[in-house]
Amino acid sequence: MNALLGIIHRDLLLVMRRKSEVLTALFFFVIVTSLFPLGIGADGALLRKIAPGVIWVAALLSTLLGLQRIFSADYADGTLEQMVLSPQSFVLLVAGKIVAHWLVCGLPLVVLAPIIGIQFDMDAGSLKVLILALLLGTPVLSLIGSIGAALTLGVRGGSVLMSLIVLPLYIPVLIFGAGAVYANTVGLDISGHFSLLGALLILALAFVPWVSAVAVKIAIE
């Protein structure tokens, strides 16, 4: 447990030392969502309708931007090898790195989303659902993304390749996340969407750190 907290603390410290990378991903989120009204027009009813989808897709893409950073620097300077060799369980260390990624790239999206939502003229109820759905969904994005990041470690054109690998796997989260908000606006029951998002999160939590650890070891060999 100490190792887990230790690695989270270390990764967060590294991010704080160079804030620009993280802020870039957040600005990307804000800019992409602001582009949609410019492209589609300022029709309030239409914007309200597409808001959940736009915010979720932008969240998917901006999570993708930060993924490479989970392992790449540690891979380049050999820290990752030392982690594999250390007596601590490597799966736990990988889990810690994923948590750190979510705290840096996922959680700020949850905080920013309502502001974007207001720009799209969403009502208070929808905003609440959006925040909750993002809170359940973004950890899954970080978890699944870590597999792609580990598989493409040190590969030519790694970041583009990673998006090709990871985005298809993000589809269920997108469907249920955006679906929950949409269902709420048309007055349908949203508990099913949240149960499924929760199920995805539990499934990903149980298996992904382990798979990512295997993938990192393959890259290091």
Partner 1 sequence: MSQKNTLSNKRFMNWFRLSSPMTFYPVAGKLIPFFWVLAFLFGVAGLWVSFFVAPIDAVQGQGYRIIFIHVPTSWMSMFIYLVMAGWAGLGLVFNTRLSSMMAQALAPIGAWMAFMSLWTGAFWGKPMWGAWWVWDARLTSELILLFLYLGFIALQASIDNPRRADKAGAVLVLVGVVNVPIIYFSVKWWNTLHQGASISMTKAPAMAQTMLWGMLLMALALWMYSIAVALMRVQAIILERESHADWVRQLGEVKS
Q: 138 and 109 in contact (C-beta within 8 Å)?
A: yes
Q: Which one of residues 30, 103, 135, 161 is an interface residue with partner 1 (CB under 8 A)?
A: 161
Provide the residue type at 212 as one letter: S
17 touches partner 1 by CB under 8 A: no
Which of residues 38, 157, 186, 187 is near partner 1 by CB under 8 A? 157
Q: How far is CA 10 from the centre of its chain?
A: 20
- The single residue among 16, 76, 85, 164 that binds partner 1, judged by CB under 8 A, is 164
Angstrom distance (rounded) from CA 63 to CA 50: 20
Distance in angstroms (rounded) separating the CA atoms of residues 71 and 30: 25
Q: Which stretch binds partner 1 (CB under 8 A): 10-18, 69-77, 81-89, 169-177?
A: 169-177
Contact between 184 and partner 1 by CB under 8 A: the answer reads no
**Geometric angle at alpha carbon 75, from 167 and 207, rounded to 5°:** 50
- Among the listed residues 165, 185, 194, 205, the single contact to partner 1 using CB under 8 A: 165
Binding mask 91-120 toward partner 1 (x if CB under 8 A, else -) reads ------------------------------
How far, in Å, CA of 181 to CA of 193, rounded? 9
Helix locations, 77-221, DSSP H: 79-85, 90-101, 107-119, 124-151, 158-185, 191-220
Pick between residue 6 and residue 78 the one whose CB is nearest to partner 1: 78
User: Would you say 126 or 146 has its CB closer to partner 1?
Assistant: 146
Alpha-carbon gap, residue 7 to 74, rounded angstroms: 12
The single residue among 59, 200, 201, 209 that binds partner 1, judged by CB under 8 A, is 200
* Contact present, 126 and 184 (Cβ < 8 Å): yes
Burial of 189 (0-12, 13-18, 19+ CB in 10 A): exposed
Confirm or reject binding of residue 155 to partner 1 (CB under 8 A).
yes
Using the rule CB under 8 A, which residue among 66, 130, 176, 180 binds partner 1?
Answer: 176
Give residues in contact with partner 1 (CB under 8 A).
Answer: 147, 151-152, 155-157, 161, 164-165, 167-169, 171-172, 175-176, 179, 196, 200, 207, 211, 214-215, 218-219, 221
